[in-house]
Structure 1
Amino acid sequence: MSDISCHRDGPVLRLTFNRPHVLNAVTPAVLDDLTELLTETAEDPSVRVIVLAGAGRAFSSGADLTAVSDLPPEATLQAANRLIRCLGTLPQPVVAAVQGPAAGVGASIALACDLVLASTTAFFQLAFVNIGLMPDGGATLLVPANIGRARALRLALLGERLPAALAADWGLIHQVVEPPELAGAVDELATRLSRAAPLALAAAKRAVNAATLGGLEDSLERELIGQSALLGSEDFQSAVTAFRDKQTPYFAGR
């Protein structure tokens, strides 16, 4: 699992996307490895808090469009859905530390964590529409659950970057700090959570998620159906080619 680094710091488990050469773009294997690690952690009561971060200058730029794979195009989406379900059902609180881009499914993963801390250099981007796709990884529920329909549609339809400071102002994330302060702020929050009553944290997380994210399974299913159709479209294939050639895609609506 070299693409996911794992470090134990007392009651805190730190998991890091370790593909900085591609801005931590994810593959199905990376997502499944992370889900496996988290599933194992759920059974370990000595782990009180999980911190999820990205190596280098990004949290995650989303799905790796350059990866050569024999897997079907839906494989990344299905692996992401398994991870999103896992994050929501873990008894431990999960803190996302975002120091740069969190785009596409990378944004979905960050926002599926329980508390998100970001540096002022970070941004969140539902960039799917820019390559002819729709938001996935539960984003069609996670984002409006936090910031409402109008703002969620702004992000989903325009595919624009949302700076961390504005994300915090909107209530999409927990806190934004200057880059040199991010590690310390994450450590402080993780320590605070590690000293709290674990059964109470688990019960609170479970109740809040049930009240606000009860439609997650339906959302994941809608995303799977819609995204599967879009992955087979000419528009997406054109966008992938344009991405690799560093050109602007043309969308014909087919």
Structure 2
Amino acid sequence: MKSKYGKAVTVTTSGQHALVRFDRGVNRNALDQDTILALTSVAHDLADALDIQTVVLTGANDIFSAGIDLKDPKKWKETETALLERRNVAQRGARLCRLWEELPQITIAAIEGPAVGGSAALALACDWRVMATNGFIYLPEAKVGLNMGWGAIPRMTSLIGAARTKRAILLAERLPAAMALEWGLIDAISEPLCAVETAQELAARSGETPAAILRMTKESVNASAIVLHRLGTYMGADQALVCRDSTEGASARAKFMGKP
């Protein structure tokens, strides 16, 4: 069924709660440009929704997302376009995460299965994360010749410190649910297929707080916690273009995708 946000993204509401699901049904639910733009539109709409106080964001039932779609022609076939257009496309992921981070509602990512690359960055932009026991976070960007963008580095560093952030990115370690919880990357663990339910329980508890107080508290905490994040990420899109168009980057991606 196609919603106002396209076939892959749906928004359902119940009282003061919203559930946002993105599920393409193909390519391990990788984030193509259409899905990124749709989730951006969702964030714009939620920002003005005074009747919604909590939002759960989830992917497919068996996988949160495989990250940026390396086969999406709208992302990877643009080398002949003007630099201004290429920068605009490259900035979409960071803009998406920033909009979700700035939502006035409490946002909770419900993760089933892998959360890879850009999708993990999107989950990090939420206030809390719930992961099923079969889930893990995996950041392969450095291994495929790309920078870790979308504002993920300062958000991770705030949560788990510099050393563990470098370890997760440079070694591309898979961080299963138990380790992610121990490190502080996630906030709760659920049984498989129960991440949304657990996230909604957290949402219901936070929704008991008066709406204005809930929003003011989030704004105050974020003002202290993320005030310097943009300083560390404003060049992310330009770094992405440099890395993507380099021979080293192309070689790394070809190796990762099993091409000669």
Question: Which amino acid is 1:36 matched to?
Answer: S
Deviation at 1:172, TM superposition (A): 1.3
Structure 1 runs (4+) deviating above 4 angstroms are 70-76
- Match of residue 63, structure 2, among 58, 62, 65: 58
Q: In the TM superposition, what whole-angstrom CA distance separates every residue of 1:91-134 from its partner, at most 9, and x where no partner exists?
A: 10111000111111111001110010001111011210120112
The reply on whether 1:229 has 2:242 as its aligned counterpart is yes
Contact kept in structure 1, 2:108 and 2:128, CA below 8 Å: yes
Aligned to 1:2: 7
Aligned to 1:252: none
Matches within 5 A, 1:12-31: 12-31=17-36
Question: Which amino acid is 2:26 matched to?
Answer: H
Q: Which runs of no fewer than 5 residues in structure 1 stay unpaired?
A: 250-254
Counterpart-to-counterpart distance in 1, 2:117 and 2:108: 19
Matches within 5 A, 1:209-220: 209-220=222-233
Counterpart-to-counterpart distance in 1, 2:60 and 2:193: 15
Counterpart-to-counterpart distance in 2, 1:16 and 1:182: 12
Query: How does the TM-score come out when normalised to structure 1?
Result: 0.90
Question: Which amino acid is 1:217 matched to?
Answer: R
Contact kept in structure 2, 1:17 and 1:54, CA below 8 Å: yes
Deviation at 1:180, TM superposition (A): 4.7
Aligned residues: 247
Matches within 5 A, 1:1-254: 1-69=6-74, 70-71=77-78, 77-244=90-257, 246-247=258-259
Aligned to 2:83: none
Counterpart-to-counterpart distance in 2, 1:97 and 1:55: 10
Deviation at 1:242, TM superposition (A): 3.4
Identity %: 31
Which stretch shows the higher mean deviation, 5-14 or 63-72? 63-72
Contact kept in structure 1, 2:95 and 2:150, CA below 8 Å: no
Contact kept in structure 2, 1:147 and 1:172, CA below 8 Å: yes
Q: In the TM superposition, what whole-angstrom CA distance separates every residue of 1:47-88 from its partner, at most 9, and x where no partner exists?
A: 111110001311111110111225466555411111111112
Query: How does the TM-score come out when normalised to structure 2?
Result: 0.89
Contact kept in structure 1, 2:30 and 2:65, CA below 8 Å: yes
Counterpart-to-counterpart distance in 2, 1:71 and 1:8: 37
Counterpart-to-counterpart distance in 2, 1:146 and 1:38: 23
Deviation at 1:194, TM superposition (A): 2.3
Question: Which amino acid is 1:17 matched to?
Answer: F
Deviation at 1:191, TM superposition (A): 1.5
Residue 74 and residue 62 in structure 1: after superposition, are their counterparts in 2 closer, same or farther (change >3 A)?
Answer: farther
Residue 99 and residue 86 in structure 1: after superposition, are their counterparts in 2 closer, same or farther (change >3 A)?
Answer: same
Residue 30 and residue 183 in structure 1: after superposition, are their counterparts in 2 closer, same or farther (change >3 A)?
Answer: closer
Q: Which runs of no fewer than 5 residues in structure 2 stay unpaired?
A: 1-5, 80-85
Deviation at 1:243, TM superposition (A): 4.3
RMSD: 1.8
